Structure 1
């Protein structure tokens, strides 16, 4: 008989724990396109390829290394996902969010969700970082559809504060200490992330609609993972790297390579902000 979803989570978690040598990560970092180098900041790293982990899917997207890196960052135990899984790769939502539940099973309390996103707010510009205040689930799917697993969370999770208010405030306070190569402090934006399925980039009409209903940035990830994280009782900080401007009325052709290139240029500010957050975020003792 095939293992149940809960059994798959437990088996994956047990395998990862067997590789960690006693390290008990309290913070999970999910790194989006072009942002995977954050994992190079982890001290005493322990790398685990996704294809080693029982029941794990394989990341197929350029800019996603496809492995966990566990260790110490700013004095705290962390586990980093270098790459994630996407609905557009053909995985169902339960498989897309599987790693979130596995991180919770190994003791993670807080998750930093990052992504590369298009900016729909005209006050943004490519290279900005945006703290996610809320999201629009435009995927037409939800990872909690189907029988609820009470071991993971309640049937009807509250989403009134999907992105932790204190974490958002802390990120803004820390941004003032992040100074770019030009000597200018980081200007940290805040806004609503519109999650779509992809893999096509949006049409001008779609972008205009999403901006009019409240979206500030748009991308192809994060939303399902945040739903699962809140279902599992994890606190979430979301950060989008604005890699291009997605203004419907002024849309220009875009490639994934361009997205990754801008994310690469933004990495120093992104890494500095995430490291500061990990250093300062309070954790409860387990």
Structure 2
């Protein structure tokens, strides 16, 4: 059975240069990136953030996923380690709670050249090269726009039951409510700071637990409801453009019928390959999210898509 783990290359700018953080594990006498195994009930981004906190004392938000390293353990079991880039702010660095332990003896910030000499494993050097390339291209610092399909809702036929009942009030099922709660650590992992939603009940209640957890208001936009998109897809697109142009890490919760408009609008910020990936987002299942990483906002520049990831909340069906 494959052993899954997750971690990140922590990076920051010091002066005009790039610095990355390595950990020294005394037990193995090696230098590597912070990482660790998935705990039961976790999704990989959640694991990465938790492990970084435990090993380095730093609270971080994930940027783009860098690579997946695969190798075989001494036991013969295959292992996969998923790595993200994670920028460390000055504030986070000041609040670090790192203390040397048996697992991690030290955390050291080094230039890429110094890190390349210190790193024990070749595959870690490959990941470092990816980070350097992104930094040179100005694509290492990103901010996400998360497109969230609402969690599982009561079927239309069951809700209306032959009656003329407002579909906008259709609620989440018990499973959908669990999905909404399970989204909290996923959205936190990517540092979402602004919450947009269709005002319809099933969308608003999907992001409500996260918004409450983070003490964020839910910004309702009727233009991204099913009816709003049907009546005026151009207005739906305008909402998406405004979110992208804001440059803030955001989540937008909407409905399957509105996804084509939302994703087509995002596609103009990407290339042909990314357009294909965005097109696949039309098939998002209830509760699933697509994380679209765009270059950070700069004056008089148009943001562009760097990477796209898709995740589903992990829930237990009793």
Q: TM-score normalised to the size of structure 2?
A: 0.25
Which of the two has greater helix per residue?
A: 2
TM-score, normalization: structure 1?
0.27
Larger Rg: 2
